[in-house]
Amino acid sequence: MLYGDGRGCYPAVGQHVADPPLLQGVPGMKEMRAAAGEPAQAAARPGARSRGRPRVVILGGGPNRIGQGIEFDYCCVHASLALREEGYESIMVNCNPETVSTDYDTSDRLYFEPLTLEDVLAIVEAEKPIGVIVQFGGQTPLNLAIPLQKAGVKILGTSPQAIDRAEDRKRFATLLRKLDLRQPPNGTARSPDEALRVAKRLGYPVLVRPSYVLGGRAMEIVYGPEDLNEYMARAVMASPQRPVLVDKFLEDAAEIDVDAVSDGGRTVIAGVMEHIEEAGIHSGDSCCALPPFTLAENIVAEIEESTRALARELGVRGLINVQYALRGDTVYVLEVNPRASRTVPFVAKATGVPWADVATRVIIGRTLRELGITREVRPPHSAVKAPVFPWSRFPGVDPVLGPEMKSTGEVMGVDAKFGVAFAKSQIAAGNAWAPRGKVFVSVNNRDKRAITSIAKRLAGLGFSLVATHGTAAVLKNSGLALEELPKVQEGARPNVIDRMKNGEIAFLINTPSGRHCRPFEISIRATAVRLGIPLVTTLSGAAAVVLGLEEMAAGQMGVRSLQQYQGDLAGAAAPQP
């Protein structure tokens, strides 16, 4: 294991180092002791062993943070192991001691170094690899692709030009027009005035975000000019000297994630995942199901064909992730990421195919046909990925979801039926939905009509309903019996917070009134989090909860190992052109 010389500070990406002594043998690289006090098998001097095998450098994701975590490290580890099996020497560059990729035996050589341009160039100069893989570590290594190529480093897999074509908004729009694919009306802005002009042309609400960032950092749904001005001041700090992306926000749209792998010719769909929460909630914070649980076959076929067309046009070699929105019967392309996504580990477990391993072998020259990967796997069971949030660590925080990612982990539930799979994922995430009890229902005006069907299903399961005046009136008009509670801000007691403290509420359905929620709304949700009472803040999430409760009440939950589910996959592949 190799580490730096303790300089203590590192140049930023693209910053010039006047005289590069760092490139002359990487001074300061020393031998590090491995496990149990034994010396590492790596020599102290770079380039001193395994000279008979070609070398490949894998760039990891760096420190864990929201939006870029262990899912990408999973891909890096599988890439390293696949390279070694293919006869290559794997060289890992990462600087996170809490990951498996920085274990001493995961790679042939480990550089515990910052993921900056100068440090990576120094390692490349010392190791003389045949190339560098940037697509497994998330956005951090992806941002180094073009600077490394300009410095003469060979990027293995999808070309940096293709990566930039997908990331750059104007080039991306040209690409979609060429393929006759739709995207939401959009524009770019570098100043508040320009952003206001674009938003006025598109019409509010708009989705605004910096470019070239991961995890939805500084992403917001903006409903008016004042909010947009406030946003622009913060967005420029998140991604300086890069344009802010302004998209027309598609209200009431479903979101779909697709992972695929391509060898430059053939593209195989790894998985089509339907989000349970509607568009506008970050994909990392939304539950998703594989296979889709409501999409029509013709919509799935259109999405799969669009993904193949995008991979073909970009010349993808390795993994690609495409995010779509479905509004009515119209499919829109939201974004294309020619890299590993955070859903790759989930898709691998759900389908029984190690997609990061497959992508690595494709990157170094193998074809999908050689690897026996020629058809999509459509599992006969349902797999649901659910996020895990750190709300309990932050008392008083409002647990409302939005376009900026907030989750810090994820779990998976698998069952023959979607509802039970969803219920299992919620149990794993720490949300123990009681089979009986009182449910507090309070939704915004926009959701009042749609809540009645969910409330009727809850009543049919034997739950008692309690609600505040506005929601109670709607539910009573639909023929439901319920208990009406005073609103918290009215001062009358007992209110819902009192009822929660007394242990009388089984769970809550509470949709926020808008971007700027009123203090009493926040206090209700924060109290639920503090007391460990399950809470759902979207109607789509509430519908999934009710379906899970219905299927659990019917006694349909079974317990099987993941290996048993994967054993059912034989013969589950669908023909792929």
Q: Which fold has domain 185-248?
A: Dna Ligase; domain 1 (3.30.1490)
Band (pLDDT 50/70/90 cuts) for residue 569 is confident
Write out the CATH class of domain 2-156: alpha beta
Band (pLDDT 50/70/90 cuts) for residue 516 is low
Residue whose structure tokens are 């580990």: 345
What pTM does this model have?
0.86
Query: Which helix or strand (DSSP H or E) is residue 415 part of?
Result: strand 409-415
- ∠ CA 272-273-278, nearest 5°, is 135
Query: Which helix or strand (DSSP H or E) is residue 238 part of?
Result: helix 225-238
pLDDT digits 0-9 by tens, 111-155: 999 999 999 999 999 999 999 999 999 888 999 999 999 999 999
Best-predicted range by mean pLDDT among 251-260, 299-308, 441-450? 299-308
pLDDT digits 0-9 by tens, 321-374: 999 999 999 999 999 999 999 999 999 999 999 999 999 999 999 999 999 999
Residue 241 has pLDDT above 70, yes or no: no
Across 553-572, average pLDDT: 80
Domain at 434-553, CATH from 3.30.360.10, 3.20.20.450, 1.25.40.80, 3.40.50.1380: 3.40.50.1380
What's the mean pLDDT when you consider all of the chain?
Answer: 86
Residue of 192, 191, 249 lying closest to 220 (CA atoms): 249
Residue 399 has pLDDT above 80, yes or no: yes
Residues 6+ apart with CB under 8 A from 51: none
pLDDT digits 0-9 by tens, 530-551: 999 999 999 999 999 999 999 9
Packing angle of the helix pair 169-179, 297-314 (nearest 10 deg) = 120
**Domain segments of the chain as ranges:** 2-156, 185-248, 434-553
Best-predicted range by mean pLDDT among 151-155, 223-227, 573-577? 151-155
Band (pLDDT 50/70/90 cuts) for residue 215 is very low
- The predicted pLDDT at position 237 comes to 62
Are 185-248 and 434-553 equal in CATH topology?
no
C-alpha span between 364 and 318 (Å, rounded): 9
Burial track 439-461 (b if 16+ CB lie within 10 A, e otherwise): bbbbbbeebeeebbebbbbbbee
Across 448-464, average pLDDT: 95
Across 18-46, average pLDDT: 41
